[in-house]
Amino acid sequence: MQHLIALVDDDRNILTSVSIALEAEGYLVDTYNDGLEALRGITQKPPELAILDIKMPRMDGLELLTRLRSKSSIPIIFLTSKDAEIDEAFGLKMGADDYVKKPFSQHLLLERIRALIRRRELDLSVIQNVSEEKIKRGNLILDQGRHQCLWKQLPLNLTVTEFLLVKALSIRPGIVKTRDQLIDAAYGDNIYVDDRTIDSHIKRLRKKFKHLDDGFNEIETLYGLGYRYKAQQTTLLKI
């Protein structure tokens, strides 16, 4: 099966070189050179993964990310300038799954793409397994087969990365997960991301839960150690 990737960048050299590299790996690629054009194209023809530049005319990558996240949980990688840490932080808070700094190695980008698509495929394969378990944790229900998160019976739209982080924390409540352990759970053990990436994802997760329930405080920070989900018994329900 060929995977469709949307590549969005106003630098035509990047569009050309990266699309050639992706196609050589067997991917289908739709290219866009500004955010507004990309929003229209991605809405009409949804890809399985999107790569977004930050600095673009008409609509920048951060606004495009916000628009896409309002209606889709597809994996998103964004491209940022070498020293633009503020862009990285904003992008992760707004729902990007990963980021790659310019100038970047195409090998690194391909590895990040493969990791995200593998995780997406695992989610889809679980849907076909009728015996897959739900995780119930107090007011939290994670339906792995449907990639669905409920808090107090209200649906919460999570990205693939966010879903995996909630699962990693809630499946063993009370147990501290280090940032390295959470990186492995969300990205796999062959992908390097720094601690700030996990911190940004956790901040966004808390914000999403608090949007539904201002009293949400289940994800605890253990300074110098990592994070944990408040200790209560986790119930596994068979579908």
pLDDT band at 102 (very low <50, low <70, confident <90, very high): confident
pLDDT at 191: 62
| Confidence check: pLDDT of 30 > 90 | yes
pLDDT at 169: 92
pLDDT at 151: 93
Quick one: the chain helix, strand, coil %, rounded to 5?
Answer: 40, 25, 35
One-letter amino acid at 60 equals D
| Confidence check: pLDDT of 192 > 60 | yes
The answer for residues whose C-beta is within 8 angstroms of residue 182's C-beta and 6 or more apart is 165, 168, 169, 198, 226, 227
46-58 mean pLDDT: 89
User: How do residues 59-84 score in pLDDT, each as one tens digit?
Assistant: 888 889 888 888 888 889 988 875 55
pLDDT at 125: 52
Phi, psi of 116 (to 5 degrees): -70, -40
| Confidence check: pLDDT of 105 > 50 | yes
pLDDT at 79: 85
* 17-21, 114-118, 126-130, 165-169, range with the lowest pLDDT: 126-130
What integer best gives the mean pLDDT of the chain?
Answer: 83
pLDDT at 129: 46
124-147 mean pLDDT: 70
pLDDT at 130: 38
Residues of the chain with CATH 3.40.50.2300: 4-125
One-letter amino acid at 53 equals D
Residues of the chain with CATH 1.10.10.10: 130-238
pLDDT at 90: 66
The answer for residues whose C-beta is within 8 angstroms of residue 37's C-beta and 6 or more apart is 58
pLDDT at 128: 45
213-217 mean pLDDT: 92
23-48 mean pLDDT: 92
pLDDT at 112: 87
CATH entry, 130-238, from 1.10.287.3510, 1.25.40.390, 1.50.10.150, 1.10.10.10 = 1.10.10.10
For the 4-125 domain, the top CATH level (class) is alpha beta
pLDDT at 148: 86
134-155 mean pLDDT: 87
The answer for residues whose C-beta is within 8 angstroms of residue 233's C-beta and 6 or more apart is 173
Return the percentage of the chain with pLDDT > 90, whole number.
35
